[in-house]
A and B are shown apart, each in its own frame.
Chain A
Amino acid sequence: MLRPAAAYRFLAQQPQPRPALGGAWLGWRRPLLVAVVLGCTMSLITSASLTLHLAGPATFYWGFVPLAEIAALAAVCRRTRRTGPFGRTVDLFFAGHGPWLFWLIGLCGIWSFVPPIQAYDFTRVWLYGAGAIVIVWSAYIDFCFFRFAMGKKPARAGGDLLVQRLVSWTIVVAVFGGPAIVPEVAARLGVSFGP
């Protein structure tokens, strides 16, 4: 996470690991970790504790986020006609999700230990301040993934990163935000609709 270029250079030279649960597990273990952290986050930010009735279902339906990312990665691999085990590609890609996971855990910390009235203010800073840092840092990590783990030239790695972000974020924002996105964007742009 801290030295992604060196880490991905190193990993690209390593043989594919053989997890105890079999080869297919390799492609699912880290996406599953992301889904579990997301599900637990939803429980902690709502009730300041981990409860089965919140974390269980939330892990299931927030699993759409890693699925959207896998779909976007598949789109990139298809675009570049890359061959090789896709499970290994997914595993390496999700190894770069540290900034997002720690950002979510930070959000859990705010809503678990700060009284709600103050937590709203802390959250604003965390969402926009720390969120901006995470967006930039994770983009750099994923650029290093495409550059060194996938062996792309810098421009191509940048293009792959752009496609991956475009596809996955479009899905996530559409599912999360829904039909209010258009009027919200219109409000920010000062555009009018209707009579």
Chain B
Amino acid sequence: MTALRWVAACLILASLAAGTVADTRPADARLILGGYHVMAVDFHVHSFPLSWATLAPGETAMEARREGLDAIAIVGHNHVWASKAGRWFSQMAGGPLVLTGEEIVSAHYHLLAIGIDSTIDWRQPAARAIEQIHRQGGVAIAAHPIAQYWPAYDAQAKRALDGAEVLHPIAYGSGELAAQLRQFYNSAPLTAIGDSDYHGMGPMGLCRTYVFSTAETQAGILDAVRRGRTVVYERAGRAYGDAELIRLAAADGRLPRIASGAASGAAPAAGFLSAFSRIAGILGLTVAAVAGLATTRSS
């Protein structure tokens, strides 16, 4: 049993070493198109604790950098403190821009409040919540607005909404849900948003929004969302958002190429060290579980 424990320890340490060495930050690929800074943003990212997510705000911000995102909004479920912690940590560690925000989770709707500083109560109709978001200078984005949430968005709420998630990972799992997201987006003049609704599983920014901002700041991003200056690319290459910006990006060619890499949903990171890390890690954990839980006289 002692030998097994040594094997487990060696495998886990080797996996950690390989994974850490292979873990490189992608090259900064800042893009300027039509005079705008094109920023890759994920407006729907959760962190531990209190939001069913696995990584703390600091690790979440660093993970965003690893996934090549220029900005993320850490949106706590009915609280804003996680976004403030994430922003502080990211500023200290030289990470990406972290927008403050909250996902207002009510029984009838889920609403992203981006750019706010105080928690907004979930026990109110969507229209009133949106009004409060605007009063704080933020933008309101309908989170995964599938059919079950439509009744919460009356005409007043829809007029006041700034954007809606037209692309979300649920769209890749179900054609019907994908159609519902598109139908909601097309039902009003809304800014196109693509978000990963990251809870810790899989890559952050699998679905992302390309924001055409006048400045690489929170104010610049919020202004772009208010004015509809975004483009979202589906895995298949289909684009949503401002038609003029889509044409501009297509003519230039760089953004669709970058986007197809980010949204491909391809197999986990390639390379010998990454592959070794995951195989040795899983083997090491399995051996550790067997050896660590074994109940023998020698234990």
Contacts and interface: CB of A to CB of B under 8 A. Distances in A.
Contact of B288 (A37, A47, A53, A96): A37
Given A50-B277, A176-B48, A180-B78, A30 B293 contact: yes
Contacts of A10: 295
A186 B50 contact: no
A71 interface: no
Contact of A48 (B125, B173, B200, B269): B269
B26 to A, nearest CB: 13
Contact of B172 (A17, A53, A96, A117): A117
Interface in A79-107: 92, 94-98, 101-102, 104-105
Interface in B66-108: 66, 76-79, 103, 105-108
B125 A179 contact: no
Contact of A40 (B12, B51, B62, B274): B12
Interface residues of B, number: 66
Nearest to B149: A187
Contacts of A192: 107-108
Nearest to A96: B293
A44 interface: yes
Interface string B239-276: 00000000000000000000000000111110001100
A18 to B, nearest CB: 11
A91 to B, nearest CB: 9
A193 B128 CA distance: 14
Interface string B288-299: 110011010101
A115 B265 contact: yes
A23 interface: no
A150 B290 CA distance: 23
A178 B78 contact: yes
Given A46-B63, A54-B55, A179 B268 contact: no
B12 A194 contact: no
Given A40-B285, A54-B63, A180-B78, A175 B49 contact: yes
Nearest to B119: A179
Nearest to B273: A49
B63 A47 contact: yes
Contacts of B187: none
B200 A112 contact: no
B24 to A, nearest CB: 11
A44 B269 CA distance: 11
Contacts of B125: 194-195
Interface in B5-57: 12, 15-16, 18-20, 22-23, 48-52, 54-56
28 contacts: A17-B299, A30-B293, A33-B292, A36-B12, A43-B281, A46-B200, A47-B19, A50-B16, A50-B19, A50-B280, A53-B23, A58-B54, A58-B55, A61-B49, A97-B293, A98-B293, A102-B289, A109-B282, A112-B282, A116-B206, A120-B202, A178-B76, A180-B50, A180-B78, A183-B78, A187-B106, A193-B106, A193-B123
Interface of B: 12, 15-16, 18-20, 22-23, 48-52, 54-56, 58-59, 62-63, 66, 76-79, 103, 105-108, 121-125, 169, 172-173, 200-204, 206, 235, 265-269, 273-274, 277-278, 280-282, 285-286, 288-289, 292-293, 295, 297, 299
